[in-house]
Amino acid sequence: MSVYLALFTTSLLAATILPISSEVMLYALLQGDSPAGPLLLAATLGNTVGSAVNWGLGRYLLHFRERPWFYFTTEQIDKAQHWFQRYGVWSLLFAWLPLGGDVLTLVAGVMRVRLWLFLILVGLGKSLRYLTVMALAR
């Protein structure tokens, strides 16, 4: 598997509930001879697609939230909805945050944010996070 596909996959999984750090993998790959641009693209796309999965879960599967296997608590969702209503769609620029970012993308689905707008804002925020990691790695 190429390093780009591995980074894409790790970044996608990191945007879900799995405790994976795509930043660590990106940092390690930057120490090698892989060009930075394609690494940034792979990480950003993977993490944004993973967030889109959360958006879809919020949009279509929220009626399962009372099931024991559902990851987010009702309190987490209510708090994120309140925060989202207060700060609006621009809060999606902060979907990269380690605490609350996943819930925020789920809530965006619940709030029926348009997918194209969601992808632009989340992708921008996540790319800025990976650019910061790249700057620190150099």
- Select the highest-mean-pLDDT range: 72-81, 106-115, 118-127: 118-127
pLDDT at 1: 65
pLDDT digits (tens, 9 = 90+) for 34-47: 899 999 999 999 99
Q: Is 138 helix (H, G, I), strand (E, B) or coil?
A: coil
Q: What 8-state DSSP symbol labels residue 2?
A: -
The predicted model gives 64-70 an average pLDDT of: 82
Report percent pLDDT > 90 for the chain: 56
Q: Is 59 helix (H, G, I), strand (E, B) or coil?
A: helix
Query: Nearest to residue 109, comparing CAs of 64, 66, 67, 45?
Result: 64
Q: Residue 55, Cβ neighbours under 10 Å: how many?
A: 26
Give the CA distances from residue 115 to residues 28, 40, 79, 83, 137, in Å, rounded to whole numbers and listed in that order.
Answer: 32, 22, 22, 19, 32
Please, which pLDDT band fits residue 68 given cuts at 50, 70 and 90?
A: confident
Higher confidence at residue 111 or residue 44?
44
